Each structure stands twice: as C-alpha cells, then as structure tokens.
Chains A and B, each alone.
Chain A
C-alpha cells in the first residue's frame, strides 16, 4: 500500500503538467510514464517473487544434486542418488497424497452447508457476526488447539464416551482418523469464506427460474447452485490442499509420529539427520507433485464452471 499512494500522486502531477501544447510528444511520454508506473507498482511483488521464491527454489534444486557433508549439511557434487533414494520416503508420500486430498474433500463437505446457511438462509443482520465466529478459532494458537484435541481424542475423551454406549477399545488419537478430524477442524475457517463469497453472489432469480421451469429443489441445487459455487469450492480446496500437503504439526500432534507426512520427513531430514541434499530432493518432488496436481485440478474446475456459466447467462 505504501508504495501505491506516491505512485498515484506521481501520475497525477505529470498529467496536469502535460495539459499544454505539443500533443504528439505528450501522448508518447504519457504512455512511457504509465509503463514506468506499472513497473514501479509491480516492482515490490516482483522482487519478492524473484528473491524470496525463485532464488530459494533454485538453491533447493541445486542442493538436491549435492551430497551430505560428514557431520551433516551440504557439499557440492553432482549426483542423482538423492532422487533414486526417494522411494525410501514412499510411505510419507503415500500418507500425504491420500490424507491431504481426503482431508480437503471432508473439509469441503463440512464447509459447504455452513457457507450455504450463512449466505442464503441467514438474515444479513447476523451474517457478519456469524462469519467472525467462523474465524474465531484463529484467535488462539494452532498448537494450543491441537493439544486440546490430543485430550479430546485421547482415551479419557471421546473413546471413554463411546465406551459408555458399548463401543469399547476405540482408538482415535495417533491414527489417520485423528489427523482427518484435525484437518477438518483446523482448515474449516479457510474453506468457508471462499464458498460463502461465491454463494452470496448467486443470483436468486436463477433459482426461481429453475423452480418455475419445473426443477425439483435437489435438481436446482445440483444443476444451478453447485456449479455456480464451484469457483469458491475450488479456491477453498486449493488453499486447504496446499497447506495440508506441507503440514507437519498436525500429523506430529494428532498422529503421534505414527502418521508420517512429507512435512515430517523434511523436518527430520533437515533438523535430525541433517541430510540437506536428500531433504532438498524430497522438497523438489513435493513441489513438482503439487504443481502438476494443482495445474490439472484448476484446469478441470475452470473449464467446468466457465461452460456452465456461459450456458446459463
């Protein structure tokens, strides 16, 4: 923001001085200046992108071809060994690639009715207050909330209540189920707002038209509401999926070291065994998988929602 205001003032000042003769030169300088302004406005984000994303990525890529120093760390080399060793973390990739999409799907299933209720059924008077309540869990530390879940899912919590109704010996904590429950709980506040926004924009007349033309409420929901809310679902899912893929606190706390994610493998590689080159190779593999997944997912979702919208309008 700080960079934006002076830039705008700058253009204004120039334009006013420009209201003099010699029109040709004026239009040329003004187009040059607008280019300069664009460049200036883009510079902060651009520099950020290059130095804090592309350069570190290049370093990670470089490290992934190196070798581990005797006491840990990195020594320059050129070897593909680190990539050949990737199957040694197969279980971590498997866990992450199954539990992250499943967690995202479950979160979306929980979030959609909530967002629908907020956007369509709630009176505008209450909407803001309820939306703030959705975000309320973020007011305390994530670690603290997962510690609370460790107790809720531990044997004096939920399993002891289940035992009262005859379901004995249920183990939840330190299983994939605990990680999924934690994922839904932890990421719901990120999933609700994007879906809410797309549902709020929904033109209610389209629903009336659908009903008038004889569609049942179910059919209206499936063929009108859902496709129109799809961009929101897609955005929310991407947010949650990306964060879940890289998560390590959640599996560490609610998986108790028994549900091992790529994030946990990375923490161990960089902080315990300090095998930086192998850690770099695992990171590169993770980035590649995320890139491909997100690319195809977004393409699929965008093509779907675009055609539907075109057909409707």
Chain B
C-alpha cells in the first residue's frame, strides 16, 4: 500500500496516460501508478469471462481482411470470431496492383491488408497504411523473426507491416514428360526455345516474367536500365512463339499435361508436388525472386481495435502454426517453425537450402510501378 497511492487525481491520471501513450513510461508503470492493473486483476477474477480474452473485450462490428486466395485457415478465423464476437469478412485479390488500385480509389472499408514486400513503401508513400503500434499486439516478437524478412516492413525505423509468410519464384518441371534438366533461368529460356517448345508457361506478371528473363541474361531482377530492358524484350519476344501460354493460373496446364514446365511460386509448387511427385521445383542458380507477404493495418481502418486484436491473435505461435499447416507457405517466425511438423520443415520446396536462397533478390517498389517495364510486358503479351 505504501508503494501505490490509494487514489489518483483526474489530472494525474491523464498526465500518466499521455506519458504512456508517448511511450515515455512502460505499460507496467502506467498500470501500477494508476491502479488500473490492480483493478483489472480484481475484475478479471470476479468476471471469469474477461480473463482469457486479453485485449479482446469490448470489440464489435466486422473485421475486413484483404488477402490472397487460399492464404488463411478458416478454422483460425472462426476461432477469432468465437473469441471476440467479431466476424471476419475476407476479400480475396489476385494481384498487388489490384489491391493498390482499389485502395487508391478510396473508402474500401478494409482493416487488415496482406501486402507483398515491394508494395509497402508505395502504400506508406501514399499514406494508405498506418505505422503499427507494436504494443497493441504483444504476440508479435521481432527478435524471433528471420532478420532477412524484417527489412521491407520497416521504413526509417518505423514498422509499417510485419512479416506473414515468405516464398520464392522459381520454375517447376514435370520430370515425367521431359528428360531436360534445367537448373537456371538461362536453361529455362533455352529449353523453352528448344526441346520444350510449346510446353512452357510464364507468369502474366511483369515483375517475375521480366525479372527472371533479366536474370537469365545476367542482369538484376529489378533492372530498369533501358539497354538491359531492350535485351530482355528481345529475349521474351523471341520466346513468345514457343510458349504454351502467358498465365499466372498454370496449375491446370501443368496438371493435365499441356505444359511440361512453368514459372512458378512456392505455394503452387508445394501443391503440385504434393499431388504429383514428378513435379520438381527449382530455383534459378543464376538468381531470381524471394518475397515476403506482410500484415498491415489500413490508415483510418473502420475497426482498428479489432484489426490489432486480430494481429495479436493470428501471430500467436500456436495459432500461426495452424495457419501455416493450412496454406503451406513458409513462415519467418522461429517460434512457429518449432511447432511445425517435420514434413513441412524438411520439404525443400518450402524451406530450400540456405545457399540457394543467397542469390535471390527482393522485388523493388520501383520495379513494380516502373512504366517502362509495364509497357514492355504489354508489348510482349500483344506480340
């Protein structure tokens, strides 16, 4: 009793609240000096319903989460609703550009967004996402994340997004329908123009298609140099007649044998390989893309409290582990990796050897928004 005063004046309370909000005192100090900690402790024993909920009490409305297809565990989302009473409305998108276009148009009503590494600085620049208040979702621990994935979400020392899952862009080969053994992007394009003519697909996505073609010529994945892009264009246009298709929906073509090789993302590779063991996923020895998707909170989110409660919930290691088991995309969180079953951790598609990853590059924001690359892709597609 001597340590804590019996009561606290309104002015003092507000002053302490300010100090706490500004981050000059710890949460523990704030709860102690105001007596709120004690009050909460007493209350929570008196009302058992409050105890397990942490920050989940007092939430209402609906939470709008905007993400990618097949990228969450429905069971987890249902559990969140059970715990908080907040139903989750999932919006599924096909590309980062579509997400950005929708957000730029305004009033989406979204709360939580799943952006890929190279879009975060653009969102921040356009003032579309808020700097995250890490105190509001203590289950996230930056120290436990693979440091290589922490860069893109942090701008000038401020965290705007926290990593969700990561993966790579390589290519998949149906080893039953060809004896070719391409191991680099150089091989990939050579085989397409040669023995695998008519049986290969590339992404309908300028970032990866142009980037991988640039790698095959020994340039950066993110090149915007006009001379290098001109060479990439020559290669792509020369390859076009030999392609089966230009599509990001290549699973059907690979599955029914129309295509024998496809430019491919980690998650598609894992799904194809799971069903058809002859599907072999390779990362280019000459480089390629590594990516990491994030959670971010939309600026002016209509249900901001629920958004943070959701982040706290979903990033809890046990819950996040269920998430990874459902969609199969690797996580950068060491605590979650410990909880994952062996068959996921030992799958070289999901967790390739470290030396294979060291040559990979992140896509850059400039790469995605560069008009020259967009026009190049359009000329390639309409050639």
Contacts and interface: CB of A to CB of B under 8 A. Distances in A.
B374 A275 contact: yes
Interface stretch (A68-76, A201-209, A293-301): A68-76
Contacts of B126: 71
Nearest to A73: B104
Given A71-B122, A71-B369, A274 B378 contact: no
Given A71-B125, A72-B369, A271 B95 contact: yes
A273 B256 contact: no
A260 interface: yes
A264 B381 contact: yes
Interface stretch (B48-56, B245-253, B280-288): B245-253
A133 to B, nearest CB: 28
Contacts of B201: 256
A309 interface: no
A258 interface: yes
A268 interface: yes
A268 B377 contact: yes
Interface stretch (A31-39, A54-62, A84-92, A187-195): A84-92
A231 B90 CA distance: 47
Place the interface of chain A in its size category. Answer: 20 to 34
B252 A258 contact: no
Which of A73, A252, A264, A274 lies at the interface centre, i.e. has the most chain B CB atoms within 10 A of its CB? A274
Given A151-B256, A257-B245, A258-B246, A72 B377 contact: no
Contacts of B253: 154, 256
Interface in B200-230: 201, 204-206
B353 interface: no
A272 B97 contact: yes
Given A71-B122, A88-B375, A257-B245, A268 B258 contact: no
Nearest to B94: A271
B243 interface: yes
B371 A89 contact: no
Contacts of B382: 89-92, 260, 265
Contacts of B143: none
Given A147-B252, A268-B381, A154 B258 contact: yes
A10 to B, nearest CB: 38
A91 B240 CA distance: 14
B257 interface: yes
Contacts of A171: 198
B257 A155 contact: yes
A274 B381 contact: no
Which of A71, A91, A92, A269 lies at the interface centre, i.e. has the most chain B CB atoms within 10 A of its CB? A71
Interface string A225-268: 00000000000000000000000000010001110100011001
A194 to B, nearest CB: 33
B378 A258 contact: no
Contacts of A177: none
B257 A256 contact: no
A68 B369 CA distance: 11
B378 A88 contact: yes
Given A89-B378, A273-B378, A151 B252 contact: yes
The 5 A-B residue pairs with the shortest CB-CB distance, nearest first, are A273-B374, A256-B245, A257-B246, A91-B382, A260-B382
Interface of A: 68, 70-73, 88-92, 147, 150-151, 154-156, 171, 173-174, 252, 256-258, 260, 264-265, 268-275
Interface of B: 95, 97-98, 100-101, 104, 122, 125-126, 198, 201, 204-206, 240, 243-247, 252-253, 256-258, 369, 371, 374-375, 377-379, 381-383
Given A68-B371, A73-B104, 11 more contacts: A151-B252, A256-B246, A257-B245, A260-B382, A265-B382, A272-B205, A272-B206, A272-B374, A273-B371, A275-B371, A275-B374
6 contacts: A91-B382, A151-B252, A252-B247, A256-B244, A257-B204, A274-B369
